[in-house]
């Protein structure tokens, strides 16, 4: 019983929903502020993402007549629940690497596919042709970026000799971060490209291209449901970098200077994403899929070969 309460707390409050969503909204402020500074603008005030969210909460919710009502409403919540679960799994294992179960990395990789799937489902069920087009592109993009990423994760598995996140983190506590090896550096580069596509940032924001298909799957969403999607995306901006830090960069710690160091790692990855986003044009979907299945997969294979050669 007590365990159940603890699990619920972990899911809803500390590493889970509340913590990650608040942190995620701060990250989205960082995103907008840094983008604004890059474009020589002033940028929004600190609480802007929170204002946006509260406002969306108070707006009318419109469910289009062409939408499949239930799916249209449920989809965002499924994405949100999956993201909260991800945050709590990754957070708990980072706090206490002993707290693991066999194959949790595989569970995490699978769970990370659910938010895009929720977006796809919501897009298709909204009954809007542009949303369907966006969802269609999201499927193709997902097929593109998951292959090299899974190869990169498998490289880590072989290096450490374990498929549980706790053991990967413990290995790094003993032997130093995996990033010190050249092969892992290559795998990390692959993962950064995956991150860019996963978060739906330019150059891979093909599925929600604003000026082309008008936010794609989100086009019919209004008010609170749009807010749920915004929170989900904000949480993904925390969870995905956190996972990369855990498997490549020694994880995060909550003691003393460790907190500062963890935040710095995090900010480094996020700012890198923002800079890539602000200095690149959007690619077409066929270019993106070719890029991921061609060059990036090649890079992932190189990482694997280097790892087997002992680098």
Partner 1 sequence: MPNLSTRWLKKSPWVYHVGTGGCNNCDIEILDCLTPRFDVERFGIKLVVSPRHADVLLVSGPVAYHIKPRLQEVYKQVPKPCVVACIGACACSMGIFKDAYSVAGPVDKVIKEIDPNAIFVYVPGCPPKPETMIMALVKALQKI
58 binds partner 1 (CB under 8 A): yes
* 90 touches 239 (CB < 8 A): yes
- Alpha carbon of 204 to those of 196, 287, 300: distances in Å? 7, 10, 19
Of 31, 138, 201, 215, which one interacts with partner 1 (CB under 8 A)?
215
Spatial neighbors of 164 by CB under 8 A, at least 6 apart, are 100, 101, 102, 103, 104, 105
CB of 40 to partner 1, least distance (A): 4
CB of 206 to partner 1, least distance (A): 15
CB of 210 to partner 1, least distance (A): 5
Distance CA 248, CA 42 (A): 35
42 binds partner 1 (CB under 8 A): yes
48 binds partner 1 (CB under 8 A): yes
Peptide bond into 154 cis (omega under 30): no
214 binds partner 1 (CB under 8 A): yes
65 binds partner 1 (CB under 8 A): no
Residue with tokens 């935040």: 263
Taking alpha carbons only, the member of 239, 102, 255 closest to residue 165 is 102
CB of 299 to partner 1, least distance (A): 34
Contacting range for partner 1; rule: CB under 8 A; set: 52-60, 65-73, 109-117, 160-168: 52-60
149 binds partner 1 (CB under 8 A): no
Distance CA 126, CA 103 (A): 36
284 binds partner 1 (CB under 8 A): no
CB of 71 to partner 1, least distance (A): 17
283 binds partner 1 (CB under 8 A): no
Q: Which is nearer to partner 1, 225 or 307 (CB)?
A: 225
CB of 232 to partner 1, least distance (A): 16
Residues 226-265 that bind partner 1 (CB under 8 A): 226
Of 17, 149, 221, 249, which one interacts with partner 1 (CB under 8 A)?
221
Distance CA 3, CA 129 (A): 47
Distance CA 209, CA 133 (A): 11
* 192 touches 184 (CB < 8 A): no
Distance CA 144, CA 162 (A): 26
Q: Which residues bind partner 1 (CB under 8 A)?
A: 32, 36, 39-45, 47-48, 51-52, 54-55, 57-62, 210-211, 214-215, 218-223, 226
């Amino acid at each position: 019983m007590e365990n159940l309460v603890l699990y619920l707390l972990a899911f809803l409050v500390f590493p889970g929903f509340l913590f990650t969503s608040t942190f995620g909204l701060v990250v989205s402020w960082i995103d907008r502020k840094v983008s604004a500074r890059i474009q020589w603008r002033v940028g929004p005030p600190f609480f802007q993402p929170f204002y946006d969210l509260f406002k969306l909460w108070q707006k009318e919710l419109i469910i289009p007549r062409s939408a499949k009502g239930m799916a249209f409403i449920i989809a965002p919540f499924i994405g949100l629940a999956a993201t909260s679960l991800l945050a709590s799994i990754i957070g708990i294992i980072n706090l206490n690497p002993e707290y693991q179960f066999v194959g949790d990395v595989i569970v995490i990789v699978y769970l990370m596919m659910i938010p895009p799937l929720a977006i796809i489902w919501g897009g298709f069920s909204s009954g809007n042709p542009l949303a369907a087009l966006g969802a269609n592109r999201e499927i193709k993009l997902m097929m593109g970026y998951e292959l090299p990423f899974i190869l990169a994760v498998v490289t880590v598995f072989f290096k450490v000799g374990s498929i549980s996140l706790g053991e990967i983190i413990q290995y790094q506590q003993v032997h130093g971060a995996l990033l010190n090896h050249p092969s892992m550096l290559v795998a990390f580069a692959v993962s950064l490209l995956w991150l860019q596509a996963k978060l739906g940032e330019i150059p891979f924001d093909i599925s929600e291209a604003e000026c082309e298909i008008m936010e794609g799957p989100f086009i019919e969403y209004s008010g609170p449901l749009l807010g749920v999607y915004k929170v989900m995306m904000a949480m993904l901006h925390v969870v995905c970098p956190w996972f990369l830090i855990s498997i490549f960069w020694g994880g995060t710690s909550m003691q003393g200077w460790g907190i500062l160091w963890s935040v710095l790692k995090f900010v480094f990855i996020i700012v890198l994403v923002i800079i890539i986003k602000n200095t690149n044009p959007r690619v077409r979907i066929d270019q993106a899929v070719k890029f991921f299945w061609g060059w990036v997969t090649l890079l992932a294979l190189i990482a694997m070969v280097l790892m087997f050669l002992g680098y």
